[in-house]
């Protein structure tokens, strides 16, 4: 039986993960699950966010399914950086070698009214953000915080840009064949380098794909003004983090965006949102992003496109019939999950 390591995490994480597992078990009853404490919950149990047994289980699994971590109340100044929940997540991504982070944003037909944008702008949006996940400012050395200065390094190697670019071009082949690489090459050397490598990969291996380049500031503006311009957006770690939260507003909420983080082996699946401490414990978090992440797991780790489509279709219909509060509706997590189960 395929083994899934489940990391509910903190805040709304356990709430949305339990909803998603109910739904997942309904379409894929043969998967085997084992659950571990991770994030703040991990620190409580193991003394650090990513305990040794958790890492070992994740490395030995067929897929890792996660909620969200974080939400330490008050200032985090007194907590060593490596003991913060976010560091546990970065360490997990690094250990799994998941360099390609897929963050799709789609405005489903019939759900344009959930977008804060005009229906003619939001309608038909179908974008895949390919965020490089193991490089850039998140991992670059040197980094530090000293008296009088704080600093990080944005660094990319040829191999790191190449493998992310290949993922984006491959994905575009199965879509409408367009990649926009987003950088800040007018200011940053690292972006100039990124652009150069992307062009080389394109010319050598993917000349059938249309490649354009855009600066990240302009891209942020166009994502709101004319999002249909984009098919696949290829970008570096930090820009992808920011642009994907922005892109979640197109379908209507951060609670809608799933993700898959892929490398050469075990995939990691998680909603793009965080632990949402402001609404945790109230039963109102939108589980759609987590259910859609489960659908991505069925597709990418288990090659079960039919089961994934069933989940996606049920979510789509339930968003219409039972919109959650973040979408202007009244349904809580439970009512939404029941609607999805009923659709299945
Ligand atoms: P957040 O994504 O947790 O929340 C931002 C806003 O969106 C909040 O108002 C929240 O209520 C709302 N929101 C998020 N998910 C929702 C959902 N499913 N349904 C309805 N509303 C939802 O971002 P934040 O508040 O900046 O961060 C909180 C903590 O989460 C921080 O510690 C941060 O580091 C962490 N974080 C973790 C992850 C992750 O685990 N992958 C991702 C982002 C942030
Ligand atoms: C995300 C989150 C993480 C990131 C944090 C919590 C480390 O914001 O998954 O989008 O910045 O990658
Ligand atoms: Mn983020």
CA distance 159 to 308: 32
| 250 exposure class (CB count in 10 Å sphere: 0-12, 13-18, 19+) | buried
List ligand 2's pocket residues with C-beta within 6 A. Answer: 70, 86, 89-90, 241, 272, 274
CA 16: distance to chain centroid?
15
Alpha-carbon torsion angle 248, 184, 149, 143, nearest 10: 80
Mutate to test the pocket of ligand 2, among 9, 98, 135, 241 (most ligand atoms within 8 A of CB): 241
Task: For CA atoms 238, 240, 244, 246, give the dihedral sign.
Answer: positive
H helical segments located in 226-284 = 237-247
Q: Active-site residue 217, yes or no?
A: yes
User: What residue has token string 């949102």?
Assistant: 273
Q: Active-site residue 25, yes or no?
A: no
Neighbours of 292 (CB within 10 A): 25
Going by alpha carbons, the residue nearest to atom 6 of ligand 2 is: 86
Give residue limits of the domains in the chain.
1-99+263-344, 105-256
Over residues 294-317, the pLDDT tens digits come to 999 999 999 999 999 999 999 999
Which positions ≥6 away from 28 have C-beta within 8 Å? 298, 302, 304, 307
Report the atom number in ligand 1 closest to the C-alpha of 278.
11
SS (H, E, C) 81-141: HHHCHHHHHHHHHHHHCCCEEEEEEECCCCCHHHCCCCHHHHCCCEEEEEEECCCHHHCCC
pLDDT value at residue 75 = 67
Let me know if the fold of 1-99+263-344 is the same as that of 105-256.
Answer: yes
Mutate to test the pocket of ligand 1, among 15, 64, 74, 274 (most ligand atoms within 8 A of CB): 274
Rg (CA), the chain: 19
CA distance 255 to 253: 5
Paired with 132 in beta bridges are 100
Mark the ranges of the chain whose per-residue pLDDT is less than 50: none
| 1 exposure class (CB count in 10 Å sphere: 0-12, 13-18, 19+) | exposed
* Contact assessment for residue 102 and residue 171, using Cβ atoms and an 8 Å cutoff: yes
pLDDT value at residue 79 = 83
CATH for the stretch 105-256: 3.40.718.10
Going by alpha carbons, the residue nearest to atom 8 of ligand 2 is: 241
Q: Active-site residue 241, yes or no?
A: yes
CA distance 299 to 148: 48
Q: Is the pTM of this model over 0.95?
A: yes
C-alpha 204 – ligand 3 centre gap (Å): 32
CATH superfamily of 1-99+263-344: Isopropylmalate Dehydrogenase (3.40.718.10)
Angle between helices 13-27 and 305-321 (to 10 degrees): 120
Residue 212 DSSP label: E
Report the chain's terminal Cα–Cα distance, integer Å.
22
């Amino acid at each position: 039986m395929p083994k899934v390591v489940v990391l509910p995490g903190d805040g709304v994480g356990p709430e949305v993960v339990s909803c998603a597992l109910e739904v997942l078990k309904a379409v894929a009853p043969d998967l085997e699950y084992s659950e571990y404490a991770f994030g703040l919950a991990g620190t409580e149990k193991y003394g650090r966010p990513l305990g040794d047994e958790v890492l070992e289980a994740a490395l030995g699994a067929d897929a890792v399914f996660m909620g969200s971590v974080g939400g330490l109340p008050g200032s985090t100044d007194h907590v060593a950086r490596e003991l913060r929940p976010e560091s546990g997540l970065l360490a997990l991504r690094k250990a799994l070698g998941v360099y390609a982070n897929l963050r799709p944003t789609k405005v489903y037909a019939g759900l344009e009214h959930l977008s804060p944008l005009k229906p003619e702008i939001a309608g038909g949006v179908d974008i895949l953000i390919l965020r490089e996940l193991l490089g850039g400012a998140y991992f670059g050395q040197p980094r530090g915080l000293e008296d009088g200065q704080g600093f990080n390094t944005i660094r990319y190697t040829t191999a790191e840009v190449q493998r992310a670019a290949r993922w984006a071009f491959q994905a575009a082949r199965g879509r409408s064949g367009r990649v926009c690489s987003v950088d800040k090459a007018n200011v940053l050397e690292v972006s100039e380098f990124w652009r150069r490598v992307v062009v080389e990969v394109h010319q050598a291996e993917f000349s059938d794909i249309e490649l354009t380049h855009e600066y990240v500031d302009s891209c942020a503006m166009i994502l709101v003004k004319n999002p249909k311009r984009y098919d696949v957006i290829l970008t570096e770690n930090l820009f992808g983090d920011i642009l994907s939260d922005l892109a979640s507003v197109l379908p209507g909420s951060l609670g809608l965006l799933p993700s898959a983080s892929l490398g050469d082996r075990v995939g990691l699946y998680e909603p793009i949102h965080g632990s949402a401490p402001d609404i945790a414990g109230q039963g109102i978090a939108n589980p759609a992003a987590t259910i859609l992440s489960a659908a991505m797991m069925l597709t990418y780790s288990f090659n079960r496109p039919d089961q994934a489509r069933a989940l996606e279709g049920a979510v789509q219909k339930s968003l219409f019939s039972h919109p959650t509060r973040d979408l202007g509706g009244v349904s809580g997590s439970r009512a939404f999950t029941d609607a999805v189960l009923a659709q299945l």
